[in-house]
Amino acid sequence: MAHRTPIEIEAAAKADLLGGLSLSKTAAKYHVGLTAVKTWKRDLLHDQVGQQKKESVFEIAERVLELTLANITGLIAIARLPDEDREWLAKQNAHDLAIFSGTHHDKLITVINALRAREELQLEPPD
């Protein structure tokens, strides 16, 4: 059966590794093998990268939500144009307005479907 390093020593060694102590000095300081220290360092790097990816996903999701809300606000403003600014509306090309409005609606539906797919993944927010 393999010898397991006490959790307190592993935790202290990981703290030193995070503080910048070299692999060999950490192994010597805690009287453990270099292989164990390398494994702990790899675990630390893996945990940090995983947390960064998780945080990035949620930052992107927040920005997409902000963009979606702004897009909805814009579509509401466009829908109110016939009642609020008939003079400006009368000067616009109907074809261009239809393309503009349709494009915004289509993009909004695409983003909402993407958000719905994210919800189905049931991602947990970062700690």
Show Cβ contacts of residue 89 under 8 Å, excluding neighbours closer than 6 positions. 81, 82, 97
Residue 46 is part of which domain span? 7-121
Tokens standing for residue 13: 């060694």
Residue 12 in any domain: the answer is yes
46-82 pLDDT tens trace: 877 667 766 777 777 788 788 888 888 888 887 787 7
Residue 2 in any domain: the answer is no
The answer to whether the CB of 39 falls within 8 A of the CB of 23 is: no
Residue 28 in any domain: the answer is yes
Tell me the Ramachandran region of residue 46: left when phi exceeds 0, alpha when psi lies from -120 to 50, beta otherwise: alpha
The answer to whether the CB of 15 falls within 8 A of the CB of 39 is: no
Residue 74 in any domain: the answer is yes
Residue 126 in any domain: the answer is no
Rounded CA separation 9/19 (Å): 15
- Angstrom CA distances, 3 to 25, 33, 36, 73, 87, stand at 21, 11, 11, 62, 83
Q: For the chain, how many structural domains are there in total?
A: 1
Percent of the chain surpassing pLDDT 70: 84
Residue 1 in any domain: the answer is no
Residue 57 in any domain: the answer is yes
76-102 pLDDT tens trace: 887 787 778 888 888 888 898 888 878
